[in-house]
Amino acid sequence: MTKTQAVRITGAIGSIVARHALATAVTVIAACVVWTVTYLTLLFWALVTNSGLGSPLSYPAGLLFIALISLAGSLILLLPSTALAELLAKTFRLPILAQLPISLAFLALLCTIAAFSTVATASVPLILDPWKQAALLFLTTLVPLGVYWWTVQCIPLLIALFRKLSKPFRPAETGEKPTLAKKRVT
């Protein structure tokens, strides 16, 4: 393997890791924003109806819970489904939008595995059967999958758009090496 190939492979791996880390962060932040809006709405409703405001720890504890659950969901369900879809699409040279149904199929499979493993390891009988749990988990993670997938895909699309839009402003390549000073014309 040459140095150029090693640098190219390292750059590709770094790009994948960075895009998925950003998508995970965006998904967790979006869930925390939804929790904050929900909490403020409930707080406003409690003030309007002259009800109890609850514990002072309810917001930070809820925020921590939402952040941890969305982080776990991103790492266990969203990251594998989108990464595998991206790998299959690049392997078979499929268009970018073909990754969506592949991601959905992998997400459905992961939700089913999670539901059946929950039933298998539960010490008490659960209310829902595993198929209903899988369906509920799948439907609950559809919007976060959309946010995650579009975040992963927007970075390369934005870079390509920037390159395309900035192309008229870049100097033309003439093949000459740049010099420090211009030659005097006499």
pTM beyond 0.85 = no
What's the mean pLDDT in 26-33?
A: 97
pLDDT at 174: 61
pLDDT at 61: 96
pLDDT at 12: 86
pLDDT at 169: 75
In three-state secondary structure terms, 13 is helix
Spell out the domain ranges in the chain: 3-167
Query: Is 128's pLDDT higher than 70?
Result: yes
Query: Is 67's pLDDT higher than 90?
Result: yes
Query: Is 23's pLDDT higher than 70?
Result: yes
Higher-pLDDT residue of 30, 129: 30
The per-residue pLDDT for range 105-125, each reduced to its tens digit, is 999 999 999 999 988 888 777
In three-state secondary structure terms, 11 is helix
Using CA atoms, how far apart are residues 150 and 137, in angstroms rounded to an integer?
20
Cβ burial of 113 (10 Å; 0-12, 13-18, 19+) is middle
What's the mean pLDDT in 84-96?
A: 93
